[in-house]
Structure 1
Amino acid sequence: MSEQSPLDLAEGDPFGPHNLPYGVFTTPAEPERRRIGVRIGRYVLDAGAAAVALGSPYAALLDRPGLNPLLAAGRTTWRDVRRALTGWVTVPAHRAAVEPLLHPLDAVTLHLPYEVADYVDFYASEHHATNVGRIFRPDGEPLTPNWKHLPIGYHGRAGTVVVSGTEVVRPRGQRKAPTDPAPVFGPSVKLDIEAEVGFLVGTPTPQGSPVPLADFPEHVFGLSLLNDWSARDIQAWEYVPLGPFLGKSFATSVSAWVTPLEALAAARTAPPARDVPPLPYLDDSEEEEPGGFDIRISVAVNGHTVAEPPFATMYWTAAQQLAHMTVNGASLRTGDLFGSGTVSGPELHQRGSLLELTWNGRDPLDLPTGKRTFLEDGDTVTLTAWAPGPDGTRVGLGEVTGRITPSR
């Protein structure tokens, strides 16, 4: 009996040929040589080596240490490369060339697969924004007057975007409780997570050229899970009047895998009904393709699931976020990353942050490892997700994990 090929996947594998997310990896034999990889089941295909072995015209894009040249190549090339990769892992005639270039996933080291140009984070879940408003403004309206007119966001720090598995050092900074006479300095005592989806820009734009809603797929290459770590006590003291700064900029974790938009065609869904008509540049009511994505996220703390936020409930779509981000003429650069904002649903178990899950520490979570309000040193947070794929399959998104280490 012949040995089973790594390309013979179990039925329903969420990382089958219908998915093929991109990453960057190194091997123990060549730890300094970064290569573009494509995940297939529990293996990573050396995409550049496969392109060279098969005489592909895309070798110049795939035999690289990072994704940025492929990102910049544009949508037509993204489609052509994906079509070629699909053939390499499904056509039997290619197996002899491809199989030696497959590396077991647990035998490689994964790296941040692209160079981040700019990082922007939004605040697009009505359920999350309403919960936060009720926590911090219990006697006022939970949503600010502008919230249903535009996707609120802030510019983050691109240099502290890190790949899944990177340890997160507890940040230090100023904090002041409402009853404290003066601020104090020290490690954050309200360290939190935000379960999000990050969208990766490929094709750039010149300054002064807004991106309309319909052009979203021309510029966005794919998406990944994202954890926007947040020091709530530092954030609460600093954010008036200009918004998040040091409470957010210490670390943002992203998956090592970027799922192409094309792999998520079956997951497109209409966003929730809007009770305030958006301005024309944000009006997606006549768009051919629905702007939402049906992505089911799970949040685990120390291996225990604490929340399952549904991305389909997001009020503002990624296309609207991109349109708003550029409407003033701001340019796009290859490698720009924008986060969706915390994903939260209407139910308690669907809240995507500990701030909401514990109602700012009032209602601790009872975990097998002990009660939690906010994160303690040694805690590990893992985000996983899947989305509907073609013909009843599931598309797996690469996980995001991070362990909290003590302040330095």
Structure 2
Amino acid sequence: MARWMFFTVLILCAGFLSAEPLRVIYMAQAGYDPRDVEQRGREFAEETGIEVAFQFEEYEDIYDLLTGDSGKSGAFDVVLLDNIWTADFADRGILEPVPDNLRSQVEAGVIYPIYSANMYNGELWGVPFLANFQLLYTNMDLLSQAGFDSPPRTLEEMRHMADTAKEKGVIEYPVFDSLRSEEVLVCELVWLSGAFGHTWDSSSDPLLIDRAENRKALEYLIELKQAGLLNPYSLNAGEMFSAEVFTWGDALFTTNWTFLIGRLEEASSNGSGAPVFNFRVSPLPYSRPIGSSSTVSGFQGLAVMKNSTQKTNAWRFISYLSSPDFQRRYLHEFPVWREVWSEPDTLRRDRYFDVKRIQVRGAKVRPVYPRYQEVSAIIRKWVFAALEEKLSVGEAFRSIQREIREIGL
């Protein structure tokens, strides 16, 4: 009997030691540093005995991996879920809904604009992890030369300040933005149309894109371009290039994600060769009659694949990785948990935190729809054509709506 128990213990131990690790696919670009995420994985293994294996991929490649053979074969247990993939992945049946107990914790500790980004059909599909959004960046040295001492609160003020800076010869093109025909262009349309009052509530009219607020947003950009206030290179620029332009002092105003704060502070402190200037981070401007700032959600959550064989351990790791303890350790990213917001250390370590806290409440999500990739491609094509002035704003949005109907959406 003792010999049987001895061999049983050996078999159980061998099984534990040879158990498959949790397989996590994570983005190698924006957000928390992969090295910090890996360290958290090691700490989890030390505390639980459950090993975690990470696979780091570029943003564009993750979607293809998860919807292709790798996703179907059960190659991953945990995935970093972009909010524009939520409806698509849920509709395909490749995600597991967040368990009720964990969902209750999220709803109690995270504001609705953040956790709702990974909701679809009444289910929560990802635990909030990264709260990324856009802000306004102003070169205060250039603004002072133009005769102003505070960033614009409204779109009308921004236009006036840009006009004045150009007229005084302070800078030829005061505004630089990311407007190339990629996903960034949809992001621009979302926050800017929100500034004109569009709620982007997909539950009521998920595919009604031809709206007055969207037209006003695009018209505003075209007016800046026609007035010589928008740098024409904006139409070829993504977020990284736009960040470089602002960092080198070649724009009065730009909009970009929160990562630009770190870029600017690094440039001013490490002797990179970029000019050192005073800059201000502030909420995005809004149209005067509306009265509140809007931004675009780049929120991401942590989700479990439907065909994972380790779902319990996967949710356990997600709770560990997304916890307030992890987020208060790395405050260069905006924490999703409200309990971290009011802690003295948060306010001490992040001097832009109050601005971020104001801005995040105005976050708008892009259209929540299973075939979002197709919808986005249609929006980008026609909005960009209007920016190039190949057709009118009205023609662009009528074309968007027509193509959406033609493909059965």
TM range (shorter): under 0.3
Of structures 1 and 2, the one with the larger relative CO (CA 8 A, separation 6+) is 2
- Identify, as 1 or 2, the structure richer in strand: 1
Normalised TM-score (structure 2) = 0.26
- Identify, as 1 or 2, the structure richer in helix: 2
